[in-house]
A and B are shown apart, each in its own frame.
Chain A
Amino acid sequence: MLPFRAKALLLLQIGLGRMAAFILAPCYFAVIRLMGYRIRNLRAIRQACRREFQRHEGPWLICANHLTVADSLILSYAMLSLPAHLRLYRWIPWNLPERNNFQNPFLVLLCYLSKCIPVQRGGPREETKRTLDKCTYLLSRRQRLLIFPEGGRSRTGRVDREQFSYGVGRFLADGGGDLQVMCLYLRGDKQSSYSLLPGFGERFMVLMDVFKPEKSALTGLRAQRDYAGQIIQRLAEMEEKYYDIYRQRHCGSDRSRQYRKEQGQPVSAAGLHQR
């Protein structure tokens, strides 16, 4: 249970963030444009997210793969247009960035005004519990929470089905039936592994899937592990789909590849994303 003071501070953060959004949101949209980042089918993705958010007001647990520190910004950009950031501030998801990444006071302020709750990974359990309590409170207020279930940037560059954090499962195990899960898979064309930032001019693909985890027959920590495992499994399946789409786009479908071989035409060499 979150103490009254912590609730009041969170509501203050929402109020200040809402006002700051009129300055910060256009700035961060401008930065994304300046970096030359582009997202394929951006309009369709935003429409799909809007449809889901209108269908279910909240709470939402938005789970994504994690390859760069800019993922949460790019995902927010992919989900919501600039007017939506300003008019539907409530729809912008909360983030749980690593506290150690925010040592600079300017970044701390930016983080505070951008719906972030810093968390110290592997830190004292009491602090982690306080953060989880804040998240539970926000979910009870039908907010959206963006979580990277892998617990950090994927060191292998692929969704890690073995070494993932079970924290996300805690929300599902403890949360009511109202909590909906949206899985997002984000990857830049040149992103072969994890990095600090995506490359300049990167072109991204975003896959979205609304997912209802199967009710776990287990309890306690086992249920948390089960739910987290289901989400990771779904993200891994989306990754497979991403590579299927990527291969078809860059190498042609198996059928066209076969056809080109038969016709004696050149066939693309195995590329970065070809297994």
Chain B
Amino acid sequence: MDEQKIFEAMITILKPYTKDAALLERATKDTHILNDLKVNSARLVDVIIKCEDVFNITVDDDEADTIRTIGNAVELIQAKLA
């Protein structure tokens, strides 16, 4: 799966957890999930679990701890799918 498709899927995954949907329209790979999108830190785990379901991958604790931006998530998913 190419990077753009993973990015788009990430935007869809993040939608229910983002307080202001307009923020997602301007989102880039550098967008910080907690600071910029105002996703609750506790809900970040839900986002990662949703990624596991959508992409059929497993993300462990240490890997989850590295995800800060949408780009981090995209890179991790891409590496898992490779």
Partners in one complex: yes
Residues of A within 8 A of B (CB): 121-126, 128-129, 151, 163-167, 170, 220-222, 224-225
Expressed in whole angstroms, the Cα–Cα distance for A151 and B45 within the complex equals 13
Tell me if B2 is interfacial: C-beta within 8 Å of chain A: no
Expressed in whole angstroms, the Cα–Cα distance for A129 and B62 within the complex equals 9
Tell me if B25 is interfacial: C-beta within 8 Å of chain A: no
Tell me if B64 is interfacial: C-beta within 8 Å of chain A: yes
Complex contact B49–A225 (CB within 8 A): yes
Complex interface bits, B36-64 against A, C-beta within 8 A gives 1, otherwise 0 = 00001111011011001000001111001
Closest to A167 in B: B42
Beyond A126-B65, A167-B42, A220-B59: 18 further Cβ-contacts under 8 Å?
A: A122-B40, A122-B41, A123-B41, A124-B68, A125-B64, A125-B66, A125-B67, A125-B68, A128-B65, A163-B40, A165-B41, A220-B58, A220-B60, A221-B45, A221-B52, A222-B49, A224-B45, A225-B46
- Residues of chain B lying within 8 A (CB to CB) of residue A170: 61
Complex contact B40–A129 (CB within 8 A): no
Complex contact A220–B34 (CB within 8 A): no
Closest to A124 in B: B68
Would A163 and B66 be within 8 Å (CB), given that A220-B58, A220-B61 are in contact?
no
Closest to A220 in B: B60
Complex contact A121–B64 (CB within 8 A): no
Expressed in whole angstroms, the Cα–Cα distance for A268 and B49 within the complex equals 48
Complex contact B49–A164 (CB within 8 A): no
- Residues of chain B lying within 8 A (CB to CB) of residue A224: 45
Expressed in whole angstroms, the Cα–Cα distance for A166 and B42 within the complex equals 7
One of A125, A126, A164 near B42 (C-beta < 8 A): A164
Complex contact B65–A163 (CB within 8 A): no
- Residues of chain A lying within 8 A (CB to CB) of residue B68: 124-125
Expressed in whole angstroms, the Cα–Cα distance for A224 and B49 within the complex equals 11
A183 to chain B, nearest CB (A): 19
